[in-house]
C-alpha cells in the first residue's frame, strides 16, 4: 500500500497518494493457522472429528438441529434441490438478483428456474412477485438473503405454505443475520451457508447445509459422500451421490472462525458504519437500505447505488485507475448469456435490471481500516466531479 505524506485529514484528502486496496481480505489469525497445521499431524484428513465438531457447533449457533459440511455453498444448494425432489417439468422460483449458483442448482436437477423481481430498496425477492409466478408446476422457492440481509420472510413463508412449496434459504451471504429476531437459516426446510474467503467466516472453500428435518439430515450426509448410507459397507452406495465432502483442514479453520464470529461481524459492522457516515455526505450515491424487519444485519459486502445520471461503469473505471477495485453487484442472472438463450431478456425484471445497472460493491472486509474507507469515499467524490 502506498503511504501518504502526512497524517489523515478528512478535510483535505487530496494529499493522499494512490492506495492499492484489496476488494476483500480474509481475517486470519495464528490460531487458525495452528488449527490447520495440527490436523496435518493426525490421521484424519477427511470425515473426521473436526468436521463433526464444526457441524454441531455451527448448527447450534444458527439454531438448527443439524449441520452438514460440504465443499461449497453451491454444492449445498444442489443437495437441497435433490432433497426438494425438484426435477424435469418442475419450476423453482428464485430472484435473478443473486450469485448465479442460486439458479444453476435448479438446472443441475433439470428443473426450471423462474426468476422474479426484487424490492428496489433491499434488493431482495418481492413476495408479491413470488406469488404471481406460482403455477401448478412450482415445486420450491429459494429466497436469497442478499448482501447479508434477509428478505421479508413472513409473507414468503405464508405464500409457500398455502401452495405446499418447499422453502430453501440461500443464506450463503448471511451468517449471523436476523429477521424479526429469528436467525437466518431457521425459517425453511433447509438453508445453505458458504465460507468462501470473502464471506463473514471462511474455510477457504466450503459450505454448510442446516436443517431440522431428521430425514433430510440423513439424506444430505449420504448425498455428499457418494451416496453411501449410514449402514452401507465399504464401497456400497445406496443412491446416486456426489463428492461434496468438507475436509478436516477446512473444518478446523471453520471451528476457530466460528469462535470469533461475533468479533468478525462487529468489525464488519464498524467498517460499514464508517462507509455510511461518509456516503451520506456524497450527493448522487445512496448507502445500503436496511429494512425494519432486519433486526441484525450481517455485512457481507458494502454496495452503494448511484443516481441513474451517474454512469456506474465509468465510475468503476475511474476507481480502478486510482487503486480502488469495485464490482457491479450483481449482474442479473437472467441476463447471463446462457439464461438469455433460454428466453430471458432485458425488460423482464425492471427492478432487478435497474439494480444491476446502478449498484456497485466497494472494497470491504473486517480488516479494512478507516483510512482506506476515507480514501475510497474521497475517490468516489472525485470521480463524480470528474465524470459528471
| Rounded Cα gap, residues 81 and 94, in angstroms | 12
| Rounded Cα gap, residues 137 and 111, in angstroms | 10
Whether 62 and 143 share a structural domain: yes
Give the pLDDT of residue 18. Answer: 65
Whether 157 and 206 share a structural domain: yes
Domain count across the chain? 2
Q: Is 280 inside a domain boundary?
A: yes
Q: Report phi then psi at 118, rounded to 5.
A: -115, 160
Whether 282 and 319 share a structural domain: yes
Please enumerate in sequence order all residues whose Cβ is within 8 A of that of 52, keeping only pairs 6 or more positions apart, or say none: none
CATH number of the domain to which 301 belongs? 3.90.1150.10
Q: How many CB atoms lie within 10 A of CB 154?
A: 14
Last residue of a domain, one of 259, 290, 313: 259
C-alpha cell, 327: 464490482
Whether 378 and 248 share a structural domain: no
Whether 191 and 335 share a structural domain: no
Q: Chain-centre distance of CA 285, in angstroms? A: 23
Q: Is 332 inside a domain boundary?
A: yes
Q: Is 72 inside a domain boundary?
A: yes
Name the 3-class secondary structure at 77: helix
Whether 230 and 291 share a structural domain: no
Q: Is 81 inside a domain boundary?
A: yes
Q: Is 1 inside a domain boundary?
A: no
Tens digits of pLDDT across the chain (388 residues): 333 333 344 445 554 566 789 999 999 999 999 999 999 999 999 999 999 999 999 999 999 999 999 999 999 999 999 999 999 999 999 999 999 999 999 999 999 999 999 999 999 999 999 999 999 999 999 999 999 999 999 999 999 999 999 999 999 999 999 999 999 999 999 999 999 999 999 999 999 999 999 999 999 999 999 999 877 677 888 999 999 999 999 999 999 999 999 999 999 999 999 999 999 999 999 999 999 999 999 999 999 999 999 999 999 999 999 999 999 999 999 999 999 999 999 999 999 999 999 999 999 999 999 999 999 999 999 999 998 6
Q: Is 148 inside a domain boundary?
A: yes
Whether 152 and 272 share a structural domain: no
Whether 221 and 332 share a structural domain: no
C-alpha cell, 153: 420472510
Residues in the chain: 388
DSSP letter, residue 333: G
Q: Is 6 inside a domain boundary?
A: no
What is the DSSP track for 94-158?
EESSS-THHHHHHHHTT-EEEEE-B-TTT-SB-HHHHHHT--TTEEEE--B-GGG----HHHHHH
C-alpha cell, 320: 480502478
Whether 58 and 123 share a structural domain: yes
Please enumerate in sequence order all residues whose Cβ is within 8 A of that of 4, keeping only pairs 6 or more positions apart, or say none: 15, 16, 17
Whether 285 and 238 share a structural domain: no
Last residue of a domain, one of 227, 259, 291: 259
Give the pLDDT of residue 118. Answer: 98
Q: Is 3 inside a domain boundary?
A: no
CB distance 353 to 119 below 8 Å: no
Last residue of a domain, one of 229, 259, 289: 259
Whether 275 and 376 share a structural domain: yes
Give the pLDDT of residue 19. Answer: 78
Q: What is the pTM of this model?
A: 0.94
Give the pLDDT of residue 7. Answer: 35
CATH number of the domain to which 80 belongs? 3.40.640.10
Whether 126 and 267 share a structural domain: no
Environment class of 300 (CB within 10 Å of its CB; exposed 0-12, middle 13-18, buried 19+): buried
Q: In terms of residue numbers, what domain contains 66?
A: 30-259
Amino acid at each position: 500500500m502506498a503511504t501518504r505524506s502526512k497524517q489523515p485529514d478528512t478535510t483535505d484528502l487530496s494529499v493522499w497518494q494512490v492506495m492499492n486496496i484489496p476488494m476483500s481480505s480474509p481475517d486470519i489469525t495464528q490460531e487458525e493457522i495452528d488449527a490447520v497445521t495440527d490436523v496435518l499431524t493426525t490421521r484424519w484428513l477427511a470425515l473426521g472429528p473436526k468436521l463433526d465438531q464444526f457441524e454441531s457447533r455451527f448448527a447450534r449457533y444458527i439454531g438448527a438441529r443439524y449441520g452438514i459440511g460440504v465443499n461449497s455453498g453451491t454444492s449445498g444448494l444442489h443437495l437441497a434441490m435433490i432433497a426438494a425432489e425438484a426435477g424435469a417439468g418442475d419450476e423453482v422460483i428464485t430472484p435473478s438478483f443473486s450469485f448465479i449458483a442460486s439458479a444453476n442448482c435448479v438446472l443441475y436437477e433439470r428443473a426450471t428456474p423462474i426468476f422474479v423481481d426484487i424490492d428496489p430498496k433491499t434488493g431482495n425477492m418481492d413476495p408479491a412477485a413470488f406469488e404471481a409466478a406460482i403455477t401448478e408446476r412450482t415445486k420450491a422457492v429459494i429466497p436469497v438473503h442478499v448482501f447479508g440481509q434477509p428478505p421479508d420472510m413472513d409473507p414468503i413463508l405464508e405464500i409457500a405454505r398455502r401452495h405446499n412449496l418447499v422453502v430453501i434459504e440461500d443464506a450463503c451471504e448471511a451468517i449471523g443475520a436476523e429477521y424479526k429476531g429469528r436467525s437466518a437459516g431457521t425459517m425453511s426446510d433447509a438453508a445453505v451457508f458458504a465460507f468462501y474467503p470473502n464471506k463473514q467466516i471462511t474455510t477457504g472453500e466450503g459450505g454448510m447445509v442446516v436443517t431440522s428435518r431428521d430425514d433430510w439430515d440423513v439424506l444430505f450426509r449420504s448425498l455428499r459422500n457418494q451416496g453411501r448410507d449410514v449402514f452401507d459397507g465399504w464401497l456400497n452406495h445406496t443412491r446416486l451421490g456426489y463428492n461434496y465432502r468438507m475436509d478436516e483442514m477446512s473444518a478446523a479453520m471453520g471451528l476457530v472462525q466460528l469462535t470469533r464470529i461475533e468479533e468478525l461481524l462487529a468489525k464488519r459492522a464498524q467498517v460499514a458504519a464508517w462507509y455510511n457516515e461518509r456516503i451520506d455526505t456524497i450527493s448522487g450515491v445512496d448507502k445500503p437500505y436496511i429494512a425494519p424487519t432486519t433486526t441484525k444485519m450481517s455485512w457481507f459486502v458494502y454496495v452503494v447505488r448511484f443516481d441513474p445520471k451517474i454512469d456506474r461503469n465509468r465510475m468503476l473505471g475511474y476507481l480502478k485507475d486510482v487503486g480502488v477495485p469495485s464490482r457491479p453487484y450483481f449482474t442479473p442472472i437472467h441476463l447471463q448469456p446462457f439464461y438469455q438463450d433460454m428466453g430471458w431478456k432485458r425488460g423482464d425484471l425492471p427492478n432487478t435490471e435497474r439494480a444491476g445497472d446502478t449498484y456497485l460493491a466497494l472494497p470491504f472486509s473486517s480488516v479494512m481500516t478507516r483510512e482506506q474507507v476515507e480514501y475510497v469515499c474521497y475517490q468516489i467524490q472525485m470521480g463524480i466531479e470528474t465524470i459528471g
